[in-house]
Amino acid sequence: MTVLGEAICPYCGVGCRLRVEGRNGRPERIRGVEDAPANLGRLCAKGATLHEALHTPDRLLVPMWRRSRQEDFRPADWPQVLRYVAECLRYILHAFGPNAIAFYGSGQLDTETAYLACKLFKGYFGTNNTDSNSRLCMAAAVAGYRTSLGSDGPPCCYEDIDHADVIFIIGSNMAECHPVTFDRIRAAKKRRPELTIVVADPRRTATAREADIYLPVAPGGDIALLNALGRLLLEYGAVDETFVRQHTRGFEEYRQFLLEQHLEELCQASGIAEMVLRRLAHRIAQARAFLSFYCMGLNQSTVGMWKNNSLINLHLLTGQIGKIGAGPFSLTGQPNAMGGREAGLLSHQLPGYRFVEDANHRRELEQFWDRPAGSIQPRPGLTAVEMFRALEKGQLKAIWIAGTNPLVSIPDLHQVRRAIERAQLVIVQDAYHPTETTQLAHVLLPAAQWGEKEWTSTSSERLVSYSPKLFDPPGRAMPDWQILARFAEVWGFRGFAYASAAEVWDEFRQLTRGRPCDMFGITAARLRQQRHIYWPCPHEDHPGLPRRYLDRVFPTPDGKACFLPRDHRAPRELPDHEFPFILTTGRLYAHWHTLTRTGKCSKLVRREPGPFVEINVEDAARLGIGDGELVLLSSRRGAIRLSARLSEQVPTGMVFVPFHWGDLYTPENAANYLTISALGRVAKQPELKFCAVNVEKCAPLAETPTPQLLPVAERAGVGVAR
């Protein structure tokens, strides 16, 4: 075998760099790159088997279209299908206006594509209905950073793991969801046994089992836990008085807020004994460097932004930010969720961490894009869940979906299906067909994947990485950015005649100049030479900064970070006599999102062949449920049947269901048929971690055989989606 080149892993947001080996231009083995700052040569099982999902029978090879869902898809060439899409959208725009269309993208789209989607839909079509599935995972973290620190973007880098005294992991099962980063924590613990690892999670996960201090926080009890820690840190004299006085505002209000809280009530709401919290607060107070990691467990909540604010408050109180080994570190779940935010692929954003509500920001973009004044609307567009509500109501007529599979990943799937079925035009841009979503599309646009195109992404640590093209895409598949650019040219828009991804990148980076996410110094040529560079990087001679706020100056009007007192709030839907259990959902180590690629890898499928419900052994005994028996789960929105997996790692009164499997596995049996679509007021992120369900034993249905997921090669073309 020969080395075909290096690429960035397209799974989670760690940003691992891969060395791809193969024969005759086809990859056959993947290894980690030793000098890559994100992974230092490490790989997880998903990254190591990534090549198995490239050449599969369900690859979407040519553009396809149909006028109605009663027809079969017909293949077409690119000019033909893009003209058809333009014809349909022209009619809708003329009849209903720009807010009748939407673009729903993904944190798996590269920065070039995210930027062009924002430019095309917000700048040229004049609709801010341009959002991303990053809304489902990172919107609360974005809002938390912005309100507390003045800007999105973590202040930390992975190297801080090697310098921290206390690592606090809350709302994240890193060992399974970001395993390479957690391996670095394991290595740090092995070198420095005095490092204290703290994990707060309702489930005793693989991550929690390696904690020095495990906090089995009550579901929904995160803010109470964080406020209790803040109260105790005050008591232990852990306030960094100089930092607080010189670099923050709102401390006195926050201090008074904490002192008015009853510690006993906070402990009760958090589910953690006061003695345990005192031990942790004492350890944090002693720490030279306090580093926290968090993810969906904090974000996927109607008060997700408040949870983020509450954690950041602890770092501000102790001065544990803007220094080596310290800070609040949000982990992104997708390879370019960070880059999409930088490029404006959320409905309230514009490129360069600008915002549609800001008249100056709109004016800057309109002038840069040579658009008439007023082309960009001043109000944020529809967010992910809101798009599908608007489709069902008939307010949206058309939706362009790229790199994501909402008929598995959006909450309340019965509603999502009704919405998509009502749409006049559904365009899906993806690498695979069929998927749960492509089956309901009118137009299919075949996209190239990692290795088949050159692309740029930003990892969780703000490391901008270049991934080169290593081999040709199959059939007529095309890079995502090129699909959008060609469509814009077919429409007749000027400003989209790019010859390469490098041209798109160099245009985008100009819009970051002087902004909090300054990448002006990261030229396409420089990035291709150096492979990866941290932002901020304001000029070409700048090395890029792995850490932010080392000068303790924050991107706020007065340069100060803000304490934000936040009360404990219960989740939107609580258990009752009819639905007495709490359902939480999440990922598994062996799979990722809606089984796009992992469902095609035999090693991963053997490890986790199908869906299940994890239930506490005591609850199972009370309900007469044995391990492996069929269980009926029901909520106010739907019901599904799953095999029971008895466990002591999930607490009594709670069940856990991984969300990976959709209707291509067994019809109407996905986890998100049960979940609630309640949204946070500011971040508009759905509460995927908490809803009320009933659990009961059910007899197997004779006409429904036990499902079995097989690798795609054995399924003769039945595929799964990104």
Instruction: Kindly calculate the radius of gyration of the chain based on its CA atoms and give it in whole angstroms.
Output: 24
The pTM for the full model equals: 0.96
Q: What is the pLDDT of residue 717?
A: 34
Take residue 568 and report the two structure tokens written for it: 């404990």
Can you list the domains of the chain with their CATH numbers? 2-53 (2.20.25.90), 64-137+335-534 (3.40.50.740), 139-331 (3.40.228.10), 581-714 (2.40.40.20)
Distance, CA of 524 to CA of 451 (rounded, Å): 18
Q: What is the largest CA-CA distance in the chain?
A: 71
Q: What is the pLDDT of residue 699?
A: 80
3-state secondary structure 321-367: CCCCCCEEEECCCCCCHHHHHHHCCCCCEECCCEECCCHHHHHHHHH
Residues of the chain with pLDDT below 70 are: 700-722
> H or E segment at 421?
helix 413-422
What Cα–Cα distance (Å) separates residue 225 from each residue in 190, 566, 621? 28, 12, 31
Q: What is the pLDDT of residue 702?
A: 55
Q: What is the pLDDT of residue 120?
A: 99
End-to-end CA distance of the chain: 29
Q: What is the pLDDT of residue 701?
A: 60
Residue 439 neighbours by CB under 8 Å, 6+ apart: none
3-state secondary structure 576-642: CCCCCEEEEEECCCCCCCCECCHHHCHHHHHHCCCCEEEEEHHHHHHHCCCCCCEEEEECCCCEEEE
Distance, CA of 415 to CA of 412 (rounded, Å): 6
Q: Cα 150 vs. chain centroid, distance in angstroms?
A: 21
Q: What is the pLDDT of residue 530?
A: 98
Q: What is the pLDDT of residue 666?
A: 87
> H or E segment at 429?
strand 425-430
